[in-house]
Each structure stands twice: as C-alpha cells, then as structure tokens.
Structure 1
C-alpha cells in the first residue's frame, strides 16, 4: 500500500508538470500564429508571415522524427526541460529583432526544439504506467494541446492588443523558461531514480521471451501500414495547419470579423479530436 501511494504521488506530480509544460510547448509553437493579425498592422504582408510559419513547420517535421530516435538514448527529463527552455529563449529573442529573415531563422530554431517535447512525454509515460494504462494517460496528456489551442489564442490576442505583439511572445517565453527549470526538478525518468521498482522491466522481458526478437527498423520502414498511416496523418496535419494558421486571417480580412472572432478556434479543435 505504501509503495502504491509513493508511485501515485510521483505520477500526479509528473503528469501535472508535463501537462502544464506541454501547454507551453504548444503555446510557444503557435504564439506567432496567434498574433499574426496584429503583426500585419506593422507592415508584414502574408508572404512574410508564410515564410516565418513555413520555416518552423519544416523544422518541426524533421525534429519530431529525429527527437523520437534520440529519446531512446537520452534522458526524457532533460529533453523535455531543455526543449521547453529553448522554446522560451526563441520567443524572448524573437522580439529583439525587426527582420523577416531573422524571424524565420529564430522560428526555424523554435521548430527544431519543439520536437523534444512529445517523445519525452511518451517515454516518461511508458516508464511510469503499465501498458494497460498507457493509452488512457496518453489521451489525457494529449488534451494539453487542446487546452492551449483554445485558451492560448484568446489570451495572447488580448495581451498583443493591449501591450503590442511583442508582449504576446515575451510573456509565454518567460513563463516557459520558468516552467523548464521547474520541470527539470519535478519530472523523473523512471521509478528506479527515486528508489522504486521499475514497471516496464518485467513487461519488456516477458514480451521479448514470448515474441522473440524485436522487429528491426528496416522491417518497420518496409511496412505498407506504416506508410499508409503516415500519409493519412500528413493530410490531416496539412489541413490542420492551414486552418489554424490562415483561417483567422480569412475571417478577419475577408469576412470582416473582429480579431477575437478569428481567434475562436475551438471548433477546429473539436474537429481534430474527432479526426
């Protein structure tokens, strides 16, 4: 009983920390997109905005793949904290310049470090929860993106409208720096690091004994199902990115709505959850 209590105490702390932390991963990733209507008032046109957004999206695609491979060999706690810290740095440094090329470079770097977050979360979940619980907690943690996607645009637009678009980037950036330091102290890679028995060790051993040798990377890449799922996700991600980044400008510029209406992406998030 005492052992279960200790496990649960650490789980609550870790899940809460990663939930809030990943909210800010998402917020720093989308913060520029949230304030695009205000940024355009200072002279940037749609092609400039597209260059900045596209540079991050391209970097994020590579980063998610490479970070997933790296997570097998690196500390998940360090990956999560360092990635969040660097995201905050990108936001803070972004406001110091007034050049589209520098904006694109910084947002490219932001995209590279954004990929550290979710593989680290997945690895920690895998170490702290049994396979029968993994899907449940994965789903709960994934709602952090939906929460940030709903609340973030409204709060960021309010800040940007009142204090300028740079404040809309600065405040999430500074909070991310603080959360990164906090997460490094609170997230634990695996139970053995706090004197508890690892959960997945016996499961992995039994799986290996019953199923034999694990499939190689080459055999996975040769799977038609993998490529089908990848292509399907590519289509969903393309639609999602287009709607979230440019839908607000369409509502504001072409339909004449107020900026706050353009920021109401709640229905987009409902669509993504269903998808």
Structure 2
C-alpha cells in the first residue's frame, strides 16, 4: 500500500508546541495498526475513567434518603443540603469551563487522575464527618455540605479531557458514534453506584457508600494516568486529519495555531459563535431536567411511591441504563442518518422528553401487567430451578412505572449527549474542550436552579409540581435547539 512520510511535523508530548524533526516513514499497515490500538485503548480508558467519577459523585444521592433519617445530622436535611447542591452544580459548571481551557492549552492526560484523587478525598471526609465533628468542632452536616461543594472542582476535571481526547483521536465521520459510546460511561458508573451503593447503604450504613467508592477511584486514578495519551502526534502518529485524508498543507495550517492563547480561544472560537450559544442555552434546560432526576430521583421515588431504597435505586438505574442506550443511539443516528445535524435530532428528543414526563406525571399508579406471582403460578418449576430471578425481570419489564423511567432516561440522555457533541464541533478541534466547558457552565447553572428548586417545589406543590416544571423546561430546550439547527443551516449555506 506504500508509505506515508508525514512526520516532518512533530509535536511535543503536550501537543502544544510545534517543532521540526525527521522521522522514518511508516507504512499504511503500521499506521492502521497503531491507530486501532490507541483508539481502542483510549476508548476503554475514558469509559472506565468517567464511570469512576460517578462513583464518587452519585454516591451522595443514593445515600441521601438514609442520611435524612440519621438524627446526628439534624433536621430538614433536604433543604439545607439543597443549598450545598446548588453551590456544587454552579461551581462545577464554571470549573468545567476553566478545565476545558486548560486542557486545550496544556493537554488532557493529567486532569482525570487529579480529579479522581480529589473527589475520593472528599468522599472519605464525608464518610467520617461525625467523627471529625468531635475533633474540629463543626456540626457533621456543615462538614458534609462543605465537602460536597468542595468536590465540584475535582468533578469538573472529568469530562473536558474526554472531549479533548475524542476530538484529537476521531474525525467528524466517526466522532458521533464514539462520543455516544464514551458518554455511556456516565450511566455505567451511575448504575454501578445506584445498585451497589443501595446495597452498601442498606447493609453497612450510609458511610459505606462513600468509603468503598473512594478506595476504588483512588486506584483507578493511577491506572488512567498510565493509559491515556493526549493526541496521535504525541505517539508518533499523524494527526487525525491526515489519517482521515485531509491534505498535509491544511494540517500545517491547523498546526500553526497550536500555540493559540486563552484570549484567542475565547474570542475566535466561542464569543461570536451563535450556534454554540443557542446550544448552551438549550443545555440549561436539558440539565434542569437531567439533574432534577440525577440528584433527586431516589428521594422522589421513595416519597411518591412509598418504595424501599433498593427499589428506588433500581428504578433510577433503569433510567440510567436506557439513557446510555439513548446516548449511543443518537450519536450513531446523527452520523448515519442526520448527516451530522445533531441539533435537529436533539429537537425531536426534547419533544419526546416533554411528552414522556407529562405521561408519567399524570399516569395513575398500576401494578405490573405480568407480576412475579403470576409467573410462578403459571410455571412453578421456575422457583426451584434457579430461575426465580427471571420472574422479577419479567415483573420489571411489564411495570408501566418502570417503563416510563426507561423512556424518560432515553429522551433525557439523548439531548445531553448531542449538546455536548455539538458544542465540541462548533468550537472546532482547537477549542473543543473549552466549548464543552462553556456548555457545561451554562448547563450546570440550570442544574444549580433545580438542585435547590426541586425540593422547594416538592415542599410547596409536591413532586407533581416539580415534574410539571420539567415538562416546561424540556419544551424550552427544544425551542433553543431549533434555533441552533436553524443557525447552523444558515452558516452552511453561506459557506457554499
């Protein structure tokens, strides 16, 4: 197949400063083999890494119903911790923008390990807050709230390096599918902690949901630093544009901007980027709904349905599991059928989200169509053949309430995936992490509103009132995504 002598242009290990160095040519087979290896290695490392962030983030949500019953933490815990959640979500969003700017400038390899170690430390302090209160003289709830808020800058180091790495290693034709796949790591981590954390809390107390994940994530931090690399150039491979067939002279033009300053990133790629700002505004409403479920779903289910914490964890895990499928599906669909028009696909998803929440809001509570008792009566041998667990699976699959949680998960995580992906593409390869950070900042501003707003609405109007607010937010998100799609179409016509 011949040889490619592309390595006249070489980057340092951070991918930030350009220098010239002659390298021996590589055959196409060698390039294909190395690219396949590093893409696979990067993909599973990013999935494991971002899933780990959820273990030391959503552990708080699954422990919260038991924490509210701990007399040592005081009364009216939901409202008090709601303030800490609002601070967390806002500073988390701002932190994503700052980390994104740093990743675009300095590289992505260092960010995730530091973030995981910091979040693990915060979880350990929360776990031992009652013991620490005797030493430092602060109330346990004050320590918990402070550590929860302090966890946000460490958590903000999770996604920007993922966005940076994916846009460096994958071209536009494959980015949507791979983005959706890696984005499912959020649900993988959430499902793990929602089910595993519920079991830990029930059997060993709420502190165990902080101790065990902290230990696991501390070990994974060192694994990530060894596995992740910032870009193909740092491994002696051609830039992704060269590998995907872009002319070399265009690559040199792109490379000349690798020393772009923070001011240039903001002014040239973010400030006057209309589709990006429409997408970010839509993300405010996407995250209002998404974080309303993310933070308060277990508590809402327990109070609305009167279920156990394990059942609430399972229902929330269904939302996350089907949400993962939604994120993967929309990434693939926009690559395959929408010609990369992510915003248009997201409009349809947000309308579906509004409809599914409205249906759940006004749907009466009913029993599963096929209960586990019905299955056992029809096939009593299943109870004695080690297949009894299948009856509970059938029970869950035919439970209308469970179905609605899955449907809402599919429609909320589809737009969440697409707004992040669109932001990275609107920001271009050179400012992908910063654009995702800006998108996250505005999105988590919406999350900060719902962090405190959801328990306030539940207190005054019931959880039904909060669900009605989610419906309105989904429709507003669809409107701004439509504006982003329209702006993108106009820009495409001008470039023709």
TM over 0.5: yes
1:254 to partner: Cα distance: 3.9
Q: Distance in 2 between matches of 1:208 and 1:197?
A: 11
1:204 to partner: Cα distance: 9.1
Alignment match of 2:308 (pick from 237, 242, 258):
258
| 8 Å contact from structure 1 (residues 23, 147) kept in 2 | yes
Q: Which residue of 2 aligns with 1:52?
A: 84
1:207 to partner: Cα distance: 7.1
Q: Which residue of 2 aligns with 1:35?
A: 63
1:126 to partner: Cα distance: 2.0
1:225 to partner: Cα distance: 3.3
C-alpha change, 1:119 and 1:203, in structure 2 (3 Å) is: farther
Q: Which residue of 1 aligns with 2:267?
A: 218
Q: Which residue of 1 aligns with 2:98?
A: 66
C-alpha change, 1:198 and 1:39, in structure 2 (3 Å) is: same
Q: Which residue of 1 aligns with 2:331?
A: none
| 8 Å contact from structure 1 (residues 19, 141) kept in 2 | yes
Q: Distance in 1 between matches of 2:30 and 2:279?
A: 43
TM superposition score normalised by structure 2: 0.51
C-alpha change, 1:227 and 1:10, in structure 2 (3 Å) is: closer
Q: After superposition, what is the alpha-carbon deviation per residue over 1:25-78, rounded to whole angstroms, capped at 9, x for unaligned?
A: 122121101211111121342123313322321221111111111111223110
Secondary structure of the structure 1 residue equivalent to 2:207: helix
Q: Distance in 2 between matches of 1:205 and 1:7?
A: 21
C-alpha change, 1:53 and 1:16, in structure 2 (3 Å) is: same
Q: Which residue of 2 aligns with 1:12?
A: 40
Q: Distance in 2 between matches of 1:29 and 1:157?
A: 14
Q: Which residue of 1 aligns with 2:228?
A: 187
| 8 Å contact from structure 2 (residues 55, 192) kept in 1 | no
C-alpha change, 1:120 and 1:49, in structure 2 (3 Å) is: same
Which deviates the most, 128-137 or 151-160? 128-137
Q: Which residue of 2 aligns with 1:164?
A: 205
Which deviates the most, 39-48 or 190-199? 190-199
For structure 2, which runs of at least 5 residues remain unmatched after alignment?
1-28, 131-139, 320-405, 416-496
Q: After superposition, what is the alpha-carbon deviation per residue over 1:69-94, rounded to whole angstroms, capped at 9, x for unaligned?
A: 11112231101221122122221222
Q: Distance in 1 between matches of 2:92 and 2:289?
A: 16
Map 1:110-259 to 2 at 5 A: 110-200=151-241, 206=250, 217-218=266-267, 220-259=270-309
1:165 to partner: Cα distance: 1.0
Which deviates the most, 41-50 or 12-21? 41-50
Secondary structure of the structure 1 residue equivalent to 2:129: coil
| 8 Å contact from structure 1 (residues 38, 165) kept in 2 | yes
Q: Which residue of 2 aligns with 1:270?
A: 410
1:162 to partner: Cα distance: 0.8
Which deviates the most, 19-28 or 218-227? 218-227
For structure 1, which runs of at least 5 residues remain unmatched after alignment?
none
Which deviates the most, 194-203 or 34-43? 194-203
1:221 to partner: Cα distance: 2.3
Which deviates the most, 29-38 or 243-252? 243-252
Q: Distance in 2 between matches of 1:105 and 1:234?
A: 25
C-alpha change, 1:203 and 1:24, in structure 2 (3 Å) is: farther
TM superposition score normalised by structure 1: 0.89
Q: After superposition, what is the alpha-carbon deviation per residue over 1:133-157, rounded to whole angstroms, capped at 9, x for unaligned?
A: 2222111100111222333211111
1:200 to partner: Cα distance: 4.4
Q: After superposition, what is the alpha-carbon deviation per residue over 1:196-223, rounded to whole angstroms, capped at 9, x for unaligned?
A: 333347679627869xx99863363244
Larger radius of gyration: 2
C-alpha change, 1:259 and 1:200, in structure 2 (3 Å) is: same
Q: Which residue of 2 aligns with 1:93?
A: 125
Q: Distance in 2 between matches of 1:216 and 1:74?
A: 13
| 8 Å contact from structure 2 (residues 92, 156) kept in 1 | yes
Q: Distance in 1 between matches of 2:249 and 2:115?
A: 31
Q: Distance in 1 between matches of 2:265 and 2:164?
A: 19
